[in-house]
Homo-oligomer: A and B are copies of this chain.
């Protein structure tokens, strides 16, 4: 006794999504078939459409629907400043909350040899070409302060140094609104050693 073939295939197909195991996949399939048929149709066609049209920007690896993304093809933006981020969501967050008007480079991950993610998977050859060809005045590392983020920052820092780029990294310290009492030891130590004149 098993579910009907089309239903089994659907449950199986949902498992491709991150964080979705056997139980969640079943729940998703039942939910769509039971009470979200219109939404299911929409998801099916949105998936097909995105897979057909969305690719990586050739310059910065951001998701884009043409060869170059909106930022890279905007002549108003300063191509000599490049901000390195881990994910497309980080680009959105920086665009919404900073006045940075340069270019980005999206790693789509972080160095993690254990998971098979090396410099090539992060497109660092593309970044090297860019450092080699265009004058890059400032390379801003906006990667996370995790172990893999540190390794990634270290690697890219070494790379950029060879091409004489100016390297900066976004500040680590006490989060805005954070009370010292509740800040973890590593962050507090970083914040203290990174103190700046008022």
| Chain A residues engaging chain B, CB cutoff 8 angstroms | 1-7, 9-10, 12-14, 16-19, 24, 26-34, 36-37, 39-51, 53-54, 63-65, 69-71, 87-89, 91-92, 95-96, 108
Contacts and interface: CB of A to CB of B under 8 A. Distances in A.
Contact of A16 (B12, B17, B36, B63): B36
A162 to B, nearest CB: 28
Contact of A34 (B12, B44, B65, B108): B108
B16 A54 contact: no
Nearest to A55: B33
State the main secondary structure of chain A at its contact with B: helix
A52 to B, nearest CB: 8
Contact of A51 (B28, B32, B92, B95): B32
In the A-B complex, the 9 residue pairs with the smallest Cβ-Cβ separation, listed nearest first, are A16-B39, A13-B46, A44-B47, A1-B95, A10-B50, A13-B43, A10-B46, A44-B48, A6-B50
Q: Which of A13, A24, A31, A39 has the most CB of B within 10 A?
A: A13
Nearest to A47: B44
Contacts of A13: 39, 42-43, 46-47
A26 B89 contact: yes
Contacts of A88: 3, 30
B9 A49 contact: yes
Contacts of A71: 1
Contacts of A10: 46-47, 49-50, 54
A22 to B, nearest CB: 10
Nearest to A12: B46
Contacts of A89: 26, 30
